Amino acid sequence: MHDGSGLIAVQNLTKHFGPVAAVQNLSFTVSPGSVTGFLGPNGAGKTTTLRMLLGLVRPTSGTATINGRPFHQLGRPGRVVGAVLEAQGFHPRRTARNHLRVYTAAIGVPDAQADQVLTLVGLGSAADRSVGGFSLGMKQRLAVATALLGDPQVLVLDEPANGLDPEGIAWLRNFLQSFARMGRTVLISSHLLAEVEQTVDQVVIVSRGQTVYYGPLEQLRQQQQRRVLVQPSDIGALAGALQAEGVTAIEQLPDGRLAVSGVDSKHVADCALRAGVSIYGIQEEQVDLEQLFFRLTSGQYAGHVPAPYQQGGWAR
């Protein structure tokens, strides 16, 4: 039987669909007590990886385990791991409650659990309606309810925000965080970092079927260099003064401001004062994780965009 650790371990996981390598030699672990984001552009192999973890797709090589065991050795998997997957469906003419009762039976938990999870996800009043008439957001809530039926220790969610309204996303965020705080494991995939940035503590970033970053989100944030955005009265004078002080990472933005990297705003302001340049506005740029994420995962599809920023001619 499984070890009850709540640990997800993916080791050297590889999957080929014919000639296409969907996942290549992927390795990472997910620990209980935190929400882990599984990030990468569409087509990076996220869904295939999650499906291998859940025993739905057979790996070409490598292993994926939950609680130290492959999915099919978990015994009663519905009581260990709950999953919300994109391609998971409902019979359109079955009511929400009946849908859940099919799976309370399969998992072997009391039927009362069906009504409990319906209330939990806010579908209590729609229990006797056929799922065919549900909105995308309601279906997604029902999928979450289904995943929770067996009171699992581990939750795996594939792009759960798809179809959810802002209210639903906020609810899901709070729910997942409190779920993780109970010492359980949450693995949630998304192709948008911004979508899960406020939810996750750890991230696994994949691109082209391979892991490109794996660790705390905080650490990723610190990797990003800060920039000071300043609007001076005389761009040339300020840039010259900064360069004279050895600050070379200066960039002119299309809106006429300067972006100065590697120094703080106080340094820039002092330098401007000494050079006799007025400053109309100055701010330290928020850490732009999305850009970092994009840089980590770029190149999967060879699309090029024009780069006007580089035409400013300032030393970089």
Partner 1 sequence: MGSMNDLVQAELRKITTTGLWWGLLIPTVLVALGGGLLSGGFGQLMIEFTTSAEAEQLSDVLGVTPDQWKFSLLGIGRTINIVTLFPLVFGAMAVANEIGTRTITTTFLTAQNRAQAMLAKLLVYALWGAIYGIATIAAVALGVVLTSGSSQMPGIGDWAMLALACVLASILMTMFGVGLGALLPNAAGVVVLLIMYFLVIENAVQFGLRLSGTPETVVGFLPNGSVNGLTGSVVVDLFMAKAGVVPEEGIDFLRIIAGAGGAQAWWLSGLIFFAWVAASFGGGWARMTQKDIT
Q: How far is the CB of 93 from partner 1 (least distance, A)?
A: 5
Per-residue binding string, partner 1, 45-64, x by CB under 8 A, is --xx--x--xxxxx------
Selected range binding partner 1 among 37-45, 106-114, 209-217, 270-278, rule: CB under 8 A: 106-114
Dump the DSSP string for 219-242.
HHHHHSPPEEEEEES-HHHHHHHH
How many angstroms separate the most distant Cα atoms in the chain? 77
Tokens of 310: 């580089």
Number of residues that bind partner 1 (CB under 8 A): 38
Nearer to partner 1, 94 or 267 (CB): 94
Q: Is residue 150 within the footprint of partner 1 (CB under 8 A)?
A: yes
CA angle, 266 then 267 then 272, to 5°: 95
- Alpha-carbon span 238 to 247, nearest angstrom: 11
Backbone angles phi, psi at 213, to 5 degrees: -155, 145
Q: Closer to partner 1 by CB, 34 or 65: give it.
A: 65
- Hey, what are 8's tokens? 């997800």
When the beta carbons of 158 and 251 are compared against partner 1, the nearer one is 158
Ramachandran area for residue 33 (φ above 0: left; ψ -120 to 50: alpha; else beta) = left
Out of 78, 168, 209, 232, the residue judged to bind partner 1 by CB under 8 A: 78
Q: Does 105 bind partner 1 (CB under 8 A)?
A: yes
**Cα distance between residue 229 and residue 221, in whole Å:** 19
Q: Does 88 bind partner 1 (CB under 8 A)?
A: yes
Q: Does 95 bind partner 1 (CB under 8 A)?
A: yes
Query: Is 144 one of the binding residues for partner 1 (CB under 8 A)?
Result: no
Residue 106 engages partner 1 in binding (rule: CB under 8 A): yes
Q: How far is the CB of 101 from partner 1 (least distance, A)?
A: 6
Q: In this structure, how many other beta carbons lie within 10 angstroms of the beta carbon of residue 31? A: 15
Q: Round to whole Å and give the CA distance between 265 and 230.
A: 8
* 116 binding partner 1? (CB under 8 A): no
- Binding interface with partner 1 (CB under 8 A): 17, 47-48, 51, 54-58, 72, 74-78, 81, 83, 85, 87-95, 98-99, 101-103, 105-108, 146, 150
